[in-house]
Amino acid sequence: MTVPLRTGMSVLALLLLCGCYTAGAVGAFPLWDDAWVWLLLEEKGPAAIQASFSDRPINAWLWSVLAETGSRFWRASFVSQAALWPLLGLLSALLWIRLFPELKRYAGLVAVVAVAPFVTKVQMLTANIALASLLPVVLAYAALLLFWRYAESAGRSALLSLGLGIALLAAAVLIQEYALPVVLAGSVLLLDLGRRASEPATRRRALVALGLLLLTAVVVYTAYLLLAAPGSRGDVRPQHALNVGRPLLWYPTTLFAAVWRGLVGGFAHELAALPGNVLALPWSAPFGFLLAGLLFLGSSPHSEPRTLTHRGTWLALLIALVAGLTPVVVMGRVPWDPLEGMTSRYGISVLPILAALMVRTALALTNPRWRAVPVVLLGLVAGVTAMSEVGAAIEERRLVGRLGAALQQRVANTTGHTIAVVPLPERPLGPPRQWELVARLAAEWPPEQRQRLWSYRFGGGPPLYYKEEATRVLGPRDRCSPPRRIGKRVRLVERQGPVEQLLWVAPGRRQRVIIEPYCQGAR
C-alpha cells in the first residue's frame, strides 16, 4: 500500500471519530455548561457575557462579538467543535513525527488516541469547551511545533516560523490559561531536543526557542492577569493555589493517580466496559471495527527497526506529562476523576503528550511481529466507546425533552416557581447540573414559563462537593422538606421567588411520563 493511501486511511479514521462526536454534539445539545450559556443568552442577552466572564476578558470579548446574534454564536460553537478536535489530532500526529520519525506510520494512531474517549469525556461540548478551553490548546500546540521547526532548521523560513509561533502562543495564553500546561510540557520537549541534537547550531536554536517560549508565556500571562477584573473568579487565578489547603501528601498522590489513569486506567476501564457497550448499542461494534481496520491499514507494515530507540525521548515525554499536569494539581483540581467525567477538561492540555506516550509504550511492550495488536485494540475500544457514549447522550436528551413536554402544562397553570426532580442514570460525563436539566426540560417553552422552572437530579451519580442532588437539598421523598421560596443564582442565571409546586418527573412504561408530588406524604 502506498504512503498516501495509508495516510488517507488514518485521516479517515480520525475524521470518522470526530464526526461521531459532532453528531453527538448536535443531538445531545445542550450539555453541561453549554446549557448555562444558552440560558444566559436567552434570559439576559449578549451583554451578560462580559459580566459573567470578567475572569477571562479576551474569551469574553470573543464570545460577545459572536453573541451579537445568537445563531452566529452557536454556529461558531458547533463549527469549533467539529474543526478543533480533528486539528488537535493532527497536531498530535505531527508532534509524534517530530519525536519518532522512524515510527511515523503510527502517527494516525496517535491522532486517534489523542481525541479518543479513554479519559477525556468532553468532546461533545461546544461553546464551553471547543470555543473556550480547546481553542488555546490547539493554538499553543501549533506554536510549539513552529518553535520546534525553528530549532531544527535555519534561514528566513525558520525565522518566520518563530515569529508566527510567538503570535499564536500569545493569542493562546490571552484566551485562557489552558495554554500554560502546554508551555510547561513543551519546554521539557525542547530541552530534550537540544540534548539529542548532534549539531551545536541546533542545540543553540533549541535553547533560543525555549527561552522565547517561556518569555512569551510569562509576559502575555502577566498581561492576561492585569486585564482580568480584580474581583473575578478566584479559583482560576494563581493565588488560588495558596488557599487550597490540601495535605502535602495529596499533591504527589493525585499527580501519580492522574498519570496512571491517563496512561493505563482510563483505557483499561473502557476495555473492561467493551462488552456492555456493545450490548447496549449494537451498532457501536461495527463502528469500532471500522475504526480499527482503517488504523490497521493506515499503519500497514513496512521497514521499521525491530528494536525501538529514543528511550530518552520516552522519559522526556513522561516528564512533560507530569510537568503539564502539575499546575492543574497544584490548583486543587483532580484531572480525569473517574467519578465525574467533566474533570477531564483539566487534562485537555496534555492530550497530545499522553497519546504519544501511550502509543510509544504500547509499541515498546509488544513483540515487533505483533505490533498490529495494539493498533487494532486501541482503535476498536476508541470506536466502540465513542459510539456508545454518543448514542446514550442523544437518547438522554430525547428522554428529558419528552419529560419537559409533559411537564409544561403543569407549569403553565401556575404563577409561582416549579421545582422538578428528575431521576436519571449515571453517565460518563458525570451527573447533570441543575441548569442543564432546566435548559433541556424547557428548551421549547415560552421564556416566561422557563424562567419559573428549576430542577434537580435524583441519583444518577455520586454526591458532589456542592449540593446538586435532590435528596441532599430537599431530603428523601418520604421525609422531604419542601422550600417555600427559591433563591438560585448561577452567575447571572437566577431564579428568585415563591415555590408553588415541587414535582417528581420520571419516565414510565411505554413512553408514559409520571408527574406527581415529590413529597410522598403530599400525594
Q: DSSP strand E in 253-312: where?
A: none
481 class by beta-carbon count within 10 Å (0-12 exposed, 13-18 middle, 19+ buried) = exposed
Run of H or E including 179 = helix 179-196
Query: Residue 198 has what pLDDT?
Result: 83
Query: Residue 234 has what pLDDT?
Result: 66
Query: Residue 523 has what pLDDT?
Result: 46
Mapped onto helix, strand or coil, the DSSP state of residue 198 is coil
Separation between Cα atoms, residue 107 and residue 301, nearest integer Å: 13
The DSSP code for 422 is: E
Q: Which residues contact 269 (CB under 8 A, 6 or more apart)?
A: 338
Separation between Cα atoms, residue 393 and residue 339, nearest integer Å: 17
Query: Residue 310 has what pLDDT?
Result: 60
Separation between Cα atoms, residue 408 and residue 357, nearest integer Å: 51
The DSSP code for 471 is: H
Q: Which residues contact 328 (CB under 8 A, 6 or more apart)?
A: 181, 258, 335, 346, 347, 349
CB-based contact 348:133 (threshold 8 Å) = yes
* Per-residue pLDDT in tens (0 to 9) along the chain, 523 residues: 676 787 889 999 999 999 999 999 999 999 998 999 999 999 888 888 888 888 888 998 999 888 887 688 999 999 999 999 999 999 999 999 999 988 899 999 999 999 999 999 999 999 999 999 999 999 999 999 999 999 988 778 889 999 999 999 999 999 999 999 999 999 999 999 988 888 898 999 999 999 999 999 999 999 998 888 766 666 777 877 777 778 888 899 999 999 999 999 999 999 999 999 998 888 899 999 999 999 999 887 655 555 555 666 889 999 999 999 999 999 888 898 887 888 899 999 999 999 999 999 999 888 888 889 999 999 999 999 999 999 999 999 999 999 999 999 999 988 899 999 999 888 888 888 899 999 999 999 999 999 999 999 988 766 665 567 888 888 888 888 888 999 888 888 889 999 999 999 999 887 789 999 999 865 4
Gyration radius of the chain over CA positions: 24
Separation between Cα atoms, residue 148 and residue 165, nearest integer Å: 9
Domain spans, the chain: 3-229+239-391, 414-522
**Cell (9 digits) for 417:** 416557581
What is the pTM (predicted TM-score) of this model? 0.93
What percent of the chain is helix, strand and coil (3-state, nearest 5)? 70, 10, 25
Query: Residue 267 has what pLDDT?
Result: 94
Q: Which of 88, 210, 221, 201 is nearest to 147 (CA)?
A: 210
Separation between Cα atoms, residue 44 and residue 47, nearest integer Å: 7
Residue type, 74: W
Q: Which of 165, 170, 173, 163 is nearest to 144 (CA)?
A: 165
